[in-house]
Amino acid sequence: MANFDTMKNKLKNGIALSLVPQIVLVKWLGSYPEIIEAYYSQGVYPFVSGFFRFLFGWVSFSIGDIIYICLGLLAIKYVVTKRKYILSKPLIFFRNIFVVLAVAYFTFHLMWGFNYYRQPISKTLSLTELKEQTALIEFTEKLIIATNTQQVAINNDSTKSVQIPYSKKEIFQKTLEGYSDLKKEYPELDYLKPSLKTSLFSTLLTYMGYGGYLNPFTNEAQVNGKIPKIRLPVVAGHEIGHQLGYSAENETNFVGYLVTLNNKDPYFRYSALSYGLSYCLSDIKRKDAAQFKALYAKVNRGVKNNYKEITEFWMGYENPLEPVFKSAFSTFLKANSQKKGIDSYNLVVSLLVAYHNERPLQDEP
């Protein structure tokens, strides 16, 4: 029995100590994006992702959320029932924490995390990113016209906000149909074995300021079911983009926009156009307030009302902890090769300009 306990402790010590070399190995491999792209993102990952989507995708609720709840309860129970042991042997307790971290770190990168180090989507989709301010302004002017035109086509009134008439289930189904159509142009975005769900943590996600997340351990795309429906199509497309192995937030913002814009449904097209326009206007506002004011004056009141609806929704859930959550997530992103942290979301603008430089927007809905 003593020998078994000794072996058990040695194993735990080894696992805990493996965290440091794991981090070093991941960072070293991450400096070779071509290798990650070829052998992981296009090699191992599609099989891992497909397996877990097949395993859990047919279940209507989130298995990953249930697992998180159970693990949280077990952790609380352990701390409460073992508190005397923890206080008497704190080094063992901290060793066990590092065991959990080492296992989680290894599992995370095997099942999804190496995608943070793959080649940029601009290279895999053959897009030449344009970052000149003049190109952005010219594109934004065209995007305003396209967004206004689509809004009027739906409402026959430039002052009314667009309200998507579908249920969340119907929005999810139409998103899947959009991916089915998009793969004809971009085979890289072929999406099989769907696993798209409303998160059980939707209220918590809202207070944290997030529209959804991908569970890297079950490969379920989780959507915040409380956000305004006008944003649901793009957010659903965004989370599926993560499932397909695109980790950078600007890239999945672009994928969400792309699949929603190219959907046959007019409400989806409007959702994408107004979404893309909001990012372009925000980017211009940060650099040139006068230019932003001139451009925003051209936006239909109905579109502005949709923006107001979204702003008021998020303001209704503002709380002192939201900046803490976002700061923590920003730090996580920076640690995983996204130098801009949470500001990475805004970098979608150059991808939008690049895409429409090759495929000009049509004024007609």
User: Among 102, 117, 132, which residue terminates a domain?
Assistant: 117
Q: Is 303 inside any structural domain?
A: yes
**Which pLDDT belongs to residue 10?**
86
In a domain, 364, yes or no: no
Give the chain's domain count.
2
Domain of 31 in residue numbering reads as 2-117
Measured distance CA(92)–CA(13) in Å, rounded: 10
The answer to whether 235 and 256 are in contact (CB under 8 A) is: yes
- Looking at the chain, the whole-number percentage of residues with pLDDT higher than 90 is 67
CA distance 263 to 175: 8
Give the bridge partners for 196, in sequence order: 221
* 1 pLDDT more than 60: no
Q: What is the mean pLDDT of residues 50-57?
A: 94
Q: How many helices (H) and strands (E) does the chain have?
A: 18, 3
Q: Does residue 302 sit in the same domain as residue 289?
A: yes
- 98 and 132: one domain? no
195 contacts: CB under 8 Å, gap ≥ 6? 52, 53, 56, 57, 218, 219, 220, 221, 243
Cα 51 → chain centroid? 20
198 and 89 belong to one structural domain: no
Asked if residue 304 belongs to a domain, the reply is yes
- pLDDT tens for each residue of 301-360: 999 999 999 999 999 998 886 676 666 655 655 666 566 654 545 578 889 998 888 888
Same domain, 113 and 135: no
133 shares a domain with 272: yes
Q: What's the whole-model pTM score? A: 0.91
Per-residue pLDDT tens for 65-122?
A: 999 999 999 999 999 998 898 889 889 899 999 999 999 999 999 999 999 999 988 8
Domain end point (choices 117, 149, 181): 117
CA distance 85 to 79: 9
**Both 106 and 71 in a single domain?**
yes
Gyration radius of the chain's alpha carbons: 23
Which helix (H) or strand (E) segment holds residue 195: the answer is: none
Of 191, 172, 194, 173, whose CA–CA distance to 54 is shortest? Answer: 194
Distance CA 88, CA 92 (A): 9
Residue written as token pair 């990475």: 344
Beta-bridge mates of residue 212: 223
Task: Give the model's pLDDT for residue 224.
Answer: 96
Q: Is residue 207 part of a domain?
A: yes
Q: Of 310, 329, 311, 312, nearest to 321 (Cα)?
A: 329
Same domain, 192 and 291: yes
Rounded Cα gap, residues 130 and 243, in angstroms: 27
Of residues 198, 201, 223, 205, the one with CA closest to residue 59: 198
> Is residue 335 located within the same domain as residue 249?
yes
pLDDT (tens digit per residue) in 14-32: 999 999 999 999 999 999 9
**206 and 180, same structural domain?**
yes
Q: Which two tokens stand for residue 46?
A: 């599609």
SS3 call for 131: coil
Q: 102: burial class by Cβ within 10 Å (0-12, 13-18, 19+)?
A: buried
The band of 5, judged by pLDDT with boundaries at 50, 70 and 90, is low
> Given 63, 94, 117, which residue is the final one in a domain?
117
**Statement to judge: residues 201 and 324 lie in one domain:** yes
In a domain, 363, yes or no: no
The backbone torsions φ and ψ at residue 197, rounded to the nearest 5 degrees and listed phi first, read -140, 160
Rounded to whole angstroms, how far apart are CA atoms 357 and 353? 6
Q: Give 7's pLDDT tier (boundaries 50, 70, 90).
A: confident
Same domain, 100 and 175: no
Strand, coil or helix: 225: coil
Q: What is the pLDDT of residue 39?
A: 95
Residue 283 lies in a domain: yes
- Asked if the structure places residue 365 within a domain, the reply is no
Report if residue 321 sits inside a domain.
yes
Residues 14 and 160 in one domain: no
